[in-house]
Chains A and B, each alone.
Chain A
Amino acid sequence: MRRIFNTLAGRLVALQLLLYAVLLPVLFYRLDALARANAISTFTQHTRAYGAAVARELELGDVLESASRTIAFLDGSVESGTCLYAAVKVNGRLIGSSVVETPASVQSRGDDGAFSASSDSTYAVAIPVRRHDRDGALYLGFDKRPTLRQLQAARTRIVEALLFYGAASVLAAVLLARLVSAPLTQLRAASRRVARGDASAHLSTSSTMAEIRDLSSDLELMRGELVGSAQQLRDEIQRRQLEQAERAALEGQLRHEQRLATVGTFASGLAHEFNNILVPLMLYTEESLEEVGTQQPVRTNLERILRAATRAGSVVSKLLAFSRPIAESRPEAVHLGAVINEALDLFQALIPANVELKRQVMLQGERVLGDPTLLNQVVLNLCSNAVRAMRERGGTLTVTLAPAVGKLPQRAGGATTVVALSVKDTGHGMDAATRERIFEPFFTTGEVGEGSGLGLSIVHGIIMSIGGSISVASAIGVGTQVTVELPVLPSAELAAQPLPA
């Protein structure tokens, strides 16, 4: 009920009803009084005029000459339907119409004067009549009932008209409310769609009312701005998310590089210490070998010590290679495709029967700046790791060399295009924790004695030293793909470099 009252139509109808409760009775009584006054005035004028005409006839004519003529005259008045009764008082004698009985109270009543609805149905009129200087009186009785019926009918019509007017205006109020609330409902539905994220929902309405049209066009303007700024916000959020992801990736890469650098520094320091320890070890052993005779059994042991020390020296130099891979290298413009083919030709002989080698070397003349021996080492190292991963189950080793869309940082005057060398196996793969550490020196997944664990760290050092990048993708049970990206030498730089024969 309260809900209906709180709608526009409810309010308008309630207001109308309240107004009618006050106004309709007032209107009714006013209109009723007007109609009544009008009818009574007409009735009394009519009776007076008739009465006066009859009186004049009695005064001027010879109707009163004889009683019989008087009675006949009065009978005519009654029979015409105008009067209920008619009587004349002449010389103190009352003569009435013979058609109806004249009420006895006629002489005492005189003129009714006022029209009363309640008393009786007869309106009495008494008019003085002068005849030959003698006073007489005419008494006439008129029927009030037709007038009273007219009044009742008029009252009914007034009530009907007022009720019709009331009903019509309530209906008009409801229609008006509809006219206002229908476009508002439309706007509300559209704004709900907008709120749900439907940017295409227009806040328009078909209303012909100026205020509502203005409101809807203002709302539509506001929606346009809101949708625009929401889009801007979404774009901004997306941009920031991308930036964040990029920054996280960069930070991860930086942490990785920093850890490698730390490990490299540590390895370098360790190598330095070991080299210092190896100096007396080798010199004293060799000195002792000089002193002992060729047939003494201790000689064999000394030679073993010397071999071990020499081997230790080569391990340490590999360790140093991690932190200074370029130290002994002589970079030159290298035809990478040729280097890789050469390395693969060598490697072919080492591949077990259950591994198939696929070559996809798709480069013709591209050259990179690097040491061919070191690049050869890179290819061999990556390939032997790949084969080791497939040792048990066999599989396919795919070596691809192709131009790539690289993300290498631009060096001043450096290469703009990039080649990618990828070495892919279908071996056991590795988990994320392993993938994270494979470039660290001495990190190995192989069996003890199988490898030094220095291979990939040296590969990493070699690639970094010539401005390249190296990345690893791997999945357990699927395989591993190592991708090396190297900057291609532009032709100007190429011309300045001595080419290998």
Chain B
Amino acid sequence: MASVLVIDDEPDVRDSIRVVLERAGFEVVTADNGLSGVEDYFQRPADVVIVDIIMPRSNGVEVIKKIRAAFAGARIIAITGGGNFGPLGYQPGTIVTDAYLESARQSGADAVMTKPFHRSDLLALVRSLVRN
């Protein structure tokens, strides 16, 4: 049974992804922040990591970098709700969704997905990564 680690600070997002993936037959572990998510992965590397980019404390890009540095074969999907965010919250004209997505790609994400997404898209992406 393939395992998925879901890291997102939003409980509703985390839980809904978990429900969809568990019903589809995946084993799901969740973390509500980047630091504990990385810890979880280091203890037991999941087959696929789904990580939110904009999170308090350690953000998604940092999480991807740490995991990718230690595990070259890790499969990572970055997700984001988009918006303009600087280091201290909303900032006009600093970092836009695309920049986050691009940054996530460059730091090692295998795929990026913007919220909201359909169940079918989520399952298709996770399955394709597990197969590879």
A-side residues, CB < 8 A to B, are: 261-262, 264-266, 268-269, 271-284, 286-287, 290, 309, 313, 320, 323-324, 327-328
**Best-buried of A269, A271, A279, A282 by chain B (most CB within 10 Å):** A279
Nearest Cβ in chain B — how far from A461, in angstroms?
Answer: 11
Pick the contact of A265 from B10, B81, B84, B120 — CB < 8 Å?
B84
Known: A268-B82, A279-B12; 13 extra A-B contacts, CB below 8 A, are: A265-B90, A265-B92, A268-B83, A271-B82, A274-B81, A275-B81, A276-B12, A276-B115, A279-B16, A279-B17, A281-B116, A282-B116, A284-B16
When the two chains form their complex, are residues B97 and A320 in contact, meaning their CB atoms are under 8 A apart? yes
Most buried by A among B17, B23, B93, B97: B97
Report 22 cross-chain contacts, Cβ distance below 8 Å, ordered by A residue: A261-B92, A262-B92, A265-B91, A268-B90, A269-B83, A272-B82, A275-B115, A276-B115, A279-B10, A279-B17, A279-B115, A282-B118, A283-B16, A284-B16, A286-B20, A287-B19, A290-B119, A313-B116, A320-B82, A320-B97, A324-B96, A327-B98
Q: What's the least CB distance linking A306 to chain B, in Å?
A: 9
Cβ-closest 7 pairs across A and B: A275-B81, A280-B16, A278-B116, A272-B83, A286-B119, A324-B96, A268-B83
Within 8 Å by CB of A275, from B20, B23, B82, B96, lies B82
Q: How far, in angstroms, from A261 to B17 measured CA to CA in the complex? A: 33
A320 to B96, CA, bound (A): 9
CA of A286 to CA of B85, assembled, Å: 30
State in angstroms the CA–CA spacing of A287 and B97 once bound together. 27
Contact of A278 among B17, B84, B97, B115 (CB under 8 A): B115
A279 near B116: Cβ-Cβ < 8 Å:
yes
Is B69 on the interface with A (CB-CB < 8 A)?
A: no
Q: Say whether A275 contacts B116, CB under 8 Å.
A: yes
User: Contacts of B98 on A, CB cut-off 8 Å?
Assistant: 324, 327-328
Cα A237 to Cα B33 in complex, Å, equals: 62
Q: How far is the CA of A98 from the CA of B84 in the complex (A)?
A: 159
Q: Is B130 an interface residue (CB 8 A)?
A: no
**Measured between alpha carbons, how far is A346 from B54 in the docked complex, in Å?**
40
**CB pair A273 B118 closer than 8 Å:** no
Find chain B residues with CB under 8 A from A313 CB.
116
Interface residue tally for chain B (C-beta within 8 Å): 30
Contacts of B67-104 to chain A: CB distance below 8 A: 81-85, 90-93, 96-98
Question: Which A residues touch B12, using CB under 8 A?
Answer: 276-277, 279-280
The tally of CB-CB contacts under 8 A between chains A and B is 95
Give Cα A491–Cα B114 distance, bound, in whole angstroms: 38
Asked if B125 is an interface residue, CB under 8 A from chain A, the answer is no
A268-B84, A271-B82, A328-B98 as given contacts; A284 in contact with B92, CB under 8 Å: no
Interface residue B122 (Cβ < 8 Å from any Cβ of A)? yes
* Contact among A261, A290, A327 for B96, CB-based, below 8 A: A327
* B10 touching A276, Cβ below 8 Å: yes
Residue of B nearest to A260 (CB): B92
Annotate B7-22 by CB proximity to A: 1 below 8 A, 0 otherwise: 0001011011101100
Find out whether the CB atom of B19 lies under 8 angstroms from the CB atom of A284: yes
Q: Which residues of B contact A271 (CB under 8 A)?
A: 81-83
> Which of B23, B97, B120 contacts A324, CB < 8 Å?
B97
Question: Which residue of chain A has its CB nearest to the CB of B54?
Answer: A272
CB-contact partner of A283 in B17, B54, B84, B96, under 8 A:
B17
Q: A278-B116, A279-B117, A283-B20 in contact; A323/B84 too (CB < 8 A)? A: yes
Chain A residues near B15 (CB-CB < 8 A): 280
Q: Which chain A residue shows the least CB distance to B9?
A: A276
Closest to B120 in A: A286
- Given A265-B91, A269-B90, A279-B117, verify A324-B82 contact (CB < 8 Å): yes
Chain B, Cβ-Cβ closest to A464: B93
Tell me the complex Cα distance, A309–B117, Å: 11
For residue B9, give the distance in angstroms from its CB to the closest CB of chain A: 9
Taking CB atoms, residues of chain A closer than 8 Å to B23 are 287, 290
CA–CA, A281 and B117, complex, Å: 10
Name the A residues within 8 Å of B115 (CB-CB). 275-276, 278-279
Cβ contact within 8 Å between A287 and B20:
yes
Most chain B CB neighbours (cut-off 10 Å) among A275, A320, A324: A275
The residues of B that contact A262 with a CB separation of less than 8 Å are: 92
Question: How far apart sit A262 and B93, CA to CA, in the bound complex (Å)?
Answer: 10
CA distance A287 to B122 in the complex (A): 12
Could you say which residues of chain A place their CB within 8 Å of the CB of B116? 275, 278-279, 281-282, 309, 313
CA distance A264 to B91 in the complex (A): 10
What separation, in Å, do the CA atoms of A472 and B15 have in the docked complex? 48
Quick one: which of B10, B13, B90, B119 contacts A287, CB cutoff 8 A? B119
Which residues of B have CB within 8 Å of A264? Answer: 84, 92
